[in-house]
Structures are given as structure tokens and as C-alpha cells.
Amino acid sequence: MSGKEATLSVLPELFRFGIYKPNQGRLVRQFTFFALVTIAAMGCLTLANGPLGQNSVSVKIGVPMLIWVVCAWVSYRVVNVPRFADFLVSVESERVKITWPEKPEVTQATIVVLATMVFLGAFLLIVDVVWQKLFSIIRFVEYL
């Protein structure tokens, strides 16, 4: 499907009122919707305090509010586009399969990571000191 065809298939979805597969992927769809609306709200706040900051109060508040309402509606509809909604449904079904490690396993993994980082840092320090000594012996820096 080309970009133009994909755009044309999304446009009718923006003007529908129904919810695609309403009982599936609800949690992920809600979080996605709220994330998109929050991003739009931050953009509208930036618009109100930045480029529209010198205008009248009605323009300073009205234009960003109108833009935010349009973005909220588009966000609501986008999470119900069948192709995207199916993706979000599959994300939620995979999310359920996640197993979180117990506290002892997290502690053990943290110790391993910290010990590895300390060892790596010490190794790189030793290599750096050796190379500095070697370069100072052969006076490599003078030739640059």
C-alpha cells in the first residue's frame, strides 16, 4: 500500500464515531491516546506562551484550545483505525506474557552489572595509563 493509499484509508476513519474492537486492547489504547493528547497539550502550551504570547487572551487561549481539541479527536480516532488498533491489541496481548524477575534475581543482576562496570573502568584506566607512558617514552606527542 503506497503512502497516498494509506492516507486515503485513514481519512474516513477520522469521521467515524464507533470504536473498533471495543473490548480488545483497551488499556494500551487508552495509554496511547493519553500520551498523544499530553504531547498535543504540551505543544499547545508552548504555542500559547511562545508565538501567541503577545496576542489577546482570546487568541492566546482560543487557538491552542481549538488545536488541542482537534488533536484530541484525531488521537481518539487514530487509536481506532483498524490496522493500528490491531497492532495495539497485539501489543497488549504480548504485554500480558511478560514475566517480571523476583527481587533476588534483580539484586543479583544489578551486582553483576555494577561489578562488570567497575572492572571495565579499572581496565580502561590501566590501558590509558600504559598508553600515556608509552607515548611519553617515544615522545609521540611532540611529532603532532
Report the pLDDT value the prediction gives residue 5, as an integer from 0 to 100: 57
**Three-state DSSP class for 99?**
coil
Report the pLDDT value the prediction gives residue 94, as an integer from 0 to 100: 87
Whole-number Å distance between alpha carbons of 11 and 15 = 7
- Chunked in runs of 10, what are the mean pLDDT values of the chain (144 residues)? 57 67 78 93 91 83 92 88 85 86 96 98 97 84 56
Give the DSSP H or E segment for 85: helix 82-96
Report the pLDDT value the prediction gives residue 123, as an integer from 0 to 100: 98
Report the pLDDT value the prediction gives residue 136, as an integer from 0 to 100: 85
Report the pLDDT value the prediction gives residue 96, as an integer from 0 to 100: 82
